Amino acid sequence: MKSICLFGFLLIAVPAFSQETRLKKQNIGPTANISETEEFDVLKTDRNVRHGTYRHQLRGREVESGFFRNNQRDSLWTTFYLRDGKVKSRGYYRNDRKIGIWDYFDEKGQRLNQFDFSAGHWVGSPVAPSDNLPVRLLVGGDTLTASPEYPAMFAGGREGYSDFVLPTLVYPAELLRTGQDGRVRMGFWIDKEGRVSDIRPTGREVGPLVKEATRIVERSDWQ
């Protein structure tokens, strides 16, 4: 099942990587003024294949870490709040897919929710937003409008949303020069693993704003 969103005692297994690797670092920031980097291991025999540890840093702070195995996410992955480095989410991947129980935390370190990606359901009673608005659900080939008891939520809740968007957003330079501003309303599908697709504006928004909003939505983490 997909939903469409309007934008508006832990055993840690460290994988063994027997193939020879080398460290690679690259800048992925949208502009030269935004310090955002990825640091990861690649195979010596093929530098396009990620294989080993991975770190993602934004403005000099680590926001994500994990492991790759033959270009696919594997083993333990953790995301962190930019402001203080506390854990935002934590769980396991296998063959590039989330598996088992993932934990989601607020900025105080308190666990908000747990989701079992192997079983496809929440663990216990998740904390849902108070403003549970109707969303469109894709069930099989049918599209329905409903207010699900537990809708798709941004990892870390509202605090996680603000922590992700505010330091990541880059206002288009061409609009700054002309003093233009605006509001962008985006629609996109969220699948049961929290991945987004089919991102598009829902009105007649300004092009550069849509481009930046799309970039942010593509990188967002939902549960």
How does pLDDT run across 24-39, given as a tens digit for each residue?
Answer: 999 987 766 678 899 9
**From CA 25, how far away is CA 41, in angstroms rounded?**
9
Residue 90 pLDDT > 90 = yes
Rounded to an integer, the average pLDDT of 179-185 is 79
Q: Which residues pair with 103 in a beta bridge?
A: 90, 114
Q: What is the pLDDT of residue 187?
A: 84
Nearby residues of 148 by Cβ (< 8 Å), 6 or more positions away: 3, 132, 135, 137
The better pLDDT of the pair 195, 4 is held by: 195
CA atoms within 13 A of residue 10's CA, in its CB half-sphere:
12
Instruction: Kindly state the tokens that stand for 188.
Output: 């996109």
- What percentage of the chain reaches a pLDDT higher than 90? 28
**From CA 133, how far away is CA 4, in angstroms rounded?**
11
- Identify which of 61-70, 79-88, 103-112 has the greatest average pLDDT: 61-70
Q: What is the pLDDT of residue 14?
A: 43
Rounded to an integer, the average pLDDT of 39-68 is 94
Annotated domain spans of the chain: 2-8+16-218
83: closest CA among 54, 53, 106? 106
- What percentage of the chain reaches a pLDDT higher than 70? 76
33: closest CA among 190, 197, 137, 168? 168
With bands split at pLDDT 50, 70 and 90, how would you rate the model's confidence at 12? very low
- Mean pLDDT lowest among 17-26, 164-173, 193-202, 209-218: 164-173
The pLDDT tens digits of the residues spanning 103-155 come to 988 888 888 888 888 887 778 766 555 555 556 666 666 676 666 666 677 76
Rounded to an integer, the average pLDDT of 199-222 is 83
Q: What does pTM read for this prediction?
A: 0.67
**From CA 7, how far away is CA 29, in angstroms rounded?**
22
Q: What is the pLDDT of residue 13?
A: 45
With bands split at pLDDT 50, 70 and 90, how would you rate the model's confidence at 43? very high
The full DSSP string for the chain is -EEEEE------PPPP--S-EEEEEEE--SSTTS-EEEEEEEESS-TTSEEEEEEEEETTEEEEEEEEETTEEEEEEEEE-TTT--EEEEEEEETTEEEEEEEEE-TTS-EEEEEETTTTEESS-----SS---EEEEETTEEEEE--SS---BTTHHHHHHHHHHHH----HHHHHHT------EEEEE-TTS-EEEEEESS---HHHHHHHHHHHHT--B-
Rounded to an integer, the average pLDDT of 154-164 is 72
Q: What is the pLDDT of residue 2?
A: 56
Q: How far apart are the first and last CA of the chain?
A: 13
Q: What is the pLDDT of residue 86?
A: 92
With bands split at pLDDT 50, 70 and 90, how would you rate the model's confidence at 201? confident
